Each structure stands twice: as structure tokens, then as C-alpha cells.
Chains A and B, each alone.
Chain A
Amino acid sequence: MLEIKNLSASIGEKPILRGIDLTVPDGQVHAIMGPNGSGKSTLSYVLSGRDDFTVTGGTATFDGQDLLAMEPEARAQAGLFLAFQAPVELPGVGNANFLRTALNAVRRARGEDELDAAQFLKLARAEARRLQMPDDMLRRNVNVGFSGGEKKRNEVLQMTMLHPKLAILDETDSGLDIDALKIVGDGVNALRAPSFSALVITHHQRLLDHIVPDAVHVLAHGRIVRSGGADLARALEAQGYAQVIAEAA
């Protein structure tokens, strides 16, 4: 699904990623953990195509395609989804209109028929209810006046509607209470299938109690310093990053 080789990226002159190697096979969920400033969010932005980062070396292949050569919209149309750590507000853009435009763009790319307003609303309402989101969140402007938790749920709603092949969740758990965390976890688990993979970026073990990963990687100073199974996350939670990183060095 996703194969990253020796990926380096910088912002301005400052290197952030310093040679990342990571493979996420089809159907697997991998977690990336690491202290602040280790490059977790940069990795998610580079993979989704944000142009304020410069890729200085390495490759990323998504489903056999050269991901780094694709425009962000083409990456999304090919099935990549980034759940933003800090989703932006779009005053004046209705959430339903936004979701339907995105869904139809992705459906067109897949060669599927576009959904009309009625078909879309039926689907969106059902998904929103499953995520225990009030109906009026579809009527409101995108993320405007949403609480932190509502914004994250709105990301998960977009993810479940767009049905990506690869989802990158960038600290989707931050700012969520325990109940919301379970709902988000359920949302991801519902997508789990042999054709779906996920990269879950998180600080904490908590989310990984709900989304049990196939592998856990520790990112520090722009490199993956350690990889392991789900138990690595528990070890990190117990011992802290400093010790794990020191052991790896």
C-alpha cells in the first residue's frame, strides 16, 4: 500500500525528516509515535502533498504510484486521506456542500456516478449518526464554531464518507474525551479491510486501545528509531520516549 524509502524533507533550510523508511502493507494499521518536534506531522503533510515542505531525498510509493510526483488532489482521488491535526475553518462553505463536492470528485476519479443532493444527504446523515454527530453539523459551515472534538469527528466523517485506501490520522485523538475517542476508534475500525490501511500518528497509547495497530514505530529527530508490535506503545506509555530513544541510539 505505502512504501517510504529514505525520505528526507525540510522546511526552508531546516531538515525535518532525515531518511524515513516505512512500509505499510495492505490491510494493516501502523502507529507512529514520538515526542513533539520529531517530524510526525511533517510526515503526514509531505505524504498528502503540502507544498511548504521540500522533499530533499527518497521516495514514497502509494499503491504502486510515485506519490511525491502527484498533486494533492490527485493523491486524494487515488485514495489517500489525511485527517488533520488542526482542521481549518471554512466560513461561508457549508459542511454538506463541502463533503458532497469532495465525495463526487473522488467518485468521478474512481469512475463512479456522482451523487445528487438527496442521495448524498441520506448517506451523510447515516454516517453522521453512526459517529453520534448532531444532524445540524452538516448544515453548519465547515468547522466554524465546532469544538475541538467536533472538528475531529468531522474529520472522521469525511474519512468514512470518502472511503480511502490509506488514511493518515494526525493526532486525531488530541482534544477528545474518552467517549469521543471510542467513536473515532470505531470509525476507523469500521473501515478496516484487506484493501484499507492506516497510519495513526499519536502521542498516547489511549487511541491504540481502540485501534489496535499491526505495528508501532517510534519517530525521533526525523528518523524511525524503533519499530515493534502493539506492546511497544504500552512500553512507551510506561517508560516515556526518552528511555526508548536512548536505548535505540
Chain B
Amino acid sequence: MSGAVSLVPAASPADGFLSRYEGLTQRLPGMAEPRRAAADILRRRGLPHVREEGWRYTNLAALADVRFHEPLTEASGFVPDTDLPDLDGFDGVPRLVFLQGRFSAAESVLPDAAIVRSFAASAEFGVLPQPERDRLVALNTMLAEDGAIIEVPEDTDAGTLLLVSAGRDIHGTPIAFHPRHTLRLARGARLTVVEIHCGDGQYLNNPVTEITLALHARLTHVRLQNESPEAFHLATIYADVAADASYDSFTLSTGARLARVDVHARLAGAQGHVAINAAQLLRGRQHSDFATVVDHDAPGCASRQTIKHVLADHARGVFQGKIEVAQAAQKTDGYQMNQALLLSPDAEIDCKPQLEIFADDVKCSHGATVGDLDPDQFFYLISRGIPREEARAMLVRAFLGEVLDMVEDERARAMLDRVVDAWWTVPV
């Protein structure tokens, strides 16, 4: 490789997606114009590249090597067997189940208190997404076939709703799907969404979720990314939080060969609250990039981020967290902590905190720690006869406990605990 930086972008890995868009364009739901505009962005700029700020740590080149198919043609007939995840403890909880990105009425149970429409029937591309800046969102916009539009009316507590995505290849052919979800909570509404991603074989799951919370609304968003080890998971979430509203999210990432989660949260009204917490448990050659942008645009808001990585083998974890405090956002209280436990000398963590503060009366703190298991703690455990693997698991659980404890929903917490426990059945 020469030292010179080429001004011409490398061959765009979006070419395959663009040619499929040309073939499918007549059959995609909703207005054609946003899709045309998105295709134009991808034609001009391709997918994000490692030379771009924000993508330095995550290389999407592997996507270009896979010849994906969009599953649209399968929609009317054949549906492959797809194992649904373990939903123990969620008996009687309404659920929206998507197989290869398509809504499955047979597997779903609609909620009473929330209004659900399908993107396939009434496609809407929302107002928050920025396809020009976020080109995975352009990719989604160009090819989105289905998704859920969920609305909770004023002062309604809609309880818990499961949003399940199960993906898989079809007869060995890799599938790409681009779900487009919208969550709208009206004034004073409440909802807990437990989002589960799982699957088998090689596929790309590229969901975009737009979240709008009106005054006093509260959304708890628990996400489990437990995709197939060969899958690509590229998720983008936009959340707009009005005054006194709260968006409380937690993501556990254990799956996928390559994952990227982008969360853009905007505190648009005074006294709003945002929590974006995450844990990543990675092994083998897994790569998972968790990137957040929190915009404090109004005074007196709080944002909390605790991100913990447990990295074994050659796994690579990334956290990029940006907090932007506008001039009007006085009395902002921002907190960001990134902690990594490296269980192998070949594991890698990259961490990039960024604070941009234009107000003068704010409290913003961030920190990062990277380390191995504490040898004194480890010795204490084994000196009591506890086998090494068990001792290691106890200390990792303890490390994760701080962030897992932030998940207050008991059923969701129990599910996450099961996934973390299962992680140990494969020796590190």
C-alpha cells in the first residue's frame, strides 16, 4: 500500500445492493422518492469507509464479498424454518415477530394498549433519519420492505412488547433485510420494548428505528443482539426525547461476526433523561462497534452511558461516544463510562470519547478503563477451591453486574442473565 491517500473512493461495496434495488424498485412499498434519493447517496458515496471519521475502527469491506439477496421474492410463499429465541418468562406478553425481516402474523401476538401498523402496508420514512450522513440508513431507506410502526396513545401504559427478529440464510443463500421501525409515544405514554435479534447462518440485519417521545413519555428499550456468528448486524436508532421524557436503553451484544450499533439521541426538551447502556461479550474474531451521539439541546437534561466489554480470543470491541451540549443546554448532567476486560492478549478495545460543550454551566464526565482480571481477586477465589473457569466467570459476572443491574425489568433481566450464563458454556 502506498502512503498517498487516494481522493477517489474505493470500489463501493454498495454496488450489489444498488443493483438489487434496480431489480426490486417496483415492488418496494411506499413512496419511491426517498428510496431514489437514498440510492443516489449510495451511488455517489458508497457505504461508510474506514477512512471516514466514525468508521476508522470498523471495516465494512467484508459486506462487499457477500452476494446477499433481499428476501422480498420469498414473502408470499416459502418461509424457511427459523428457530425463535428462548422466550421463557414472557408468557402472555404481546410480540411482533419478524422472520428474515418480514412480519410473521402467525408468530405474533398484537398488543392491546399500543397501536401497531406494518411498514409494508403504510411505509413511512420518518423525520429523524439522516441518510446523507448515515449511509447505512440510506441503505435501509433504499431497500426497506417491512417493519413495525408502534404508537402508544396519551397517558397510556402499554406494558411490555417483544420485538423479535430471527434471520437466516435461505438454502445457503445469504439474505439481507432492512427493517424499518417507528416507535411513537404520545404525552405521558409508557412502554417497555424488549428487542431480540437472533438467527442462523449468514445474513445481514440492517434495522433502522425512529423513536419519538412526547412530553413525560417513558420508553424502556432492552436490546439483545444475539445474531448468528456469521451474521452482520448494523443497527441505527434515532431517539428524540421531549421535556420530562425518558429514554432508557440497554443493549447486550454477544452475536454477529461484525456488528455496529449507532444510537443518536437528542434531548429536545428541558429535564429529559437518556440512558444508553451496553455490554458486549465477544470471542473468536467477532467485532462489535457501539457508537453513540447524545445531543443536549435543552437545559436541565441528564444523560447516562455505561458501556462494558468482555473480550476474549481475537475479539475487538469499539466504543465511540459523543456528547454535544448546545449553548442553551445549561445545567446539563452528562456521564459516560467505558470499561473493558480483556481476557486474551490478542483481544482489542478501541475507545473514543468526545465531548463538545458550548454551554458554560454543565457537569459532564467521562472515563475509560481497560484491564485484565484482577490477580488478587482471582487468587482469592481459587484459594477457596473454586475452579479457575468458575472463578473467572464469577469475576466477569461481577464486572458486568454493574451495568446489567441497570435493567430493571425482571423478565428482560432474567433473559439477559441466561444469555450471559450460556456465554460461559463455550470455554474462553
Interface residues of A (CB under 8 A from B): 48-50, 52, 71-73, 75-77, 82, 84, 87-88, 90-93, 97-98, 101-102, 105-106, 109, 158, 162
Q: Which of A50, A76, A90, A97 contacts B385 (CB 8 A)?
A: A76
Contacting residue for A105 out of B376, B387, B400, CB 8 A: B387
B237 to chain A: closest CB distance in Å?
Answer: 28
In the complex the two chains form, is A162's CB within 8 Å of B385's CB?
Answer: yes
Residue B358 lies at the interface, judged by CB distance under 8 Å to chain A: no
> B397 to A101, Cβ gap below 8 A?
no
Is B90's CB within 8 Å of the partner chain A? no
Known: A90-B377, A92-B399, A92-B401. A48 touches B383 (CB 8 A): yes
- Count: A-B pairs, CB below 8 Å: 68
Instruction: Quote the shortest CB–CB distance from B93 to chain A (angstroms).
Output: 28
18 A–B contacts, CB within 8 A, in A order: A72-B379, A72-B382, A73-B388, A75-B383, A76-B383, A76-B384, A87-B380, A92-B398, A92-B402, A93-B397, A93-B398, A98-B381, A98-B394, A105-B390, A109-B385, A158-B384, A162-B384, A162-B385
B residues within 8 Å of A by Cβ?
374-377, 379-388, 390-391, 394-395, 397-402
Separation of A217 and B376 alpha carbons in the complex (Å): 28
Q: Cβ of B397 and Cβ of A92 under 8 Å apart?
A: yes
Known contacts A72-B379, A101-B390, A105-B390, A91 near B384 by CB under 8 Å? no
Interface centre among A77, A82, A90, A97 (most CB of B within 10 A): A90
- The answer to whether A93 and B394 touch across the interface, beta carbons within 8 angstroms, is yes
Q: Are B394 and A73 in contact (CB under 8 A)?
A: no
How long is the Cα–Cα vector from A106 to B386 in the complex, in angstroms? Answer: 8
Chain B residues near A158 (CB-CB < 8 A): 384
Nearest CB on A from B333, distance (A): 24
Please indicate the chain B residues that have their CB under 8 angstroms from the CB of A73 in the complex.
382-383, 385-388, 391
| Chain A contacts for B402, CB-based, 8 A | 91-92
- Given A93-B394, A93-B398, A101-B390, A88 contacting B385 (CB threshold 8 A): no
The answer to whether B380 and A84 touch across the interface, beta carbons within 8 angstroms, is: yes
Complex Cα spacing A71 to B386, Å: 11
CB distance from B87 to the nearest CB of A (A): 26
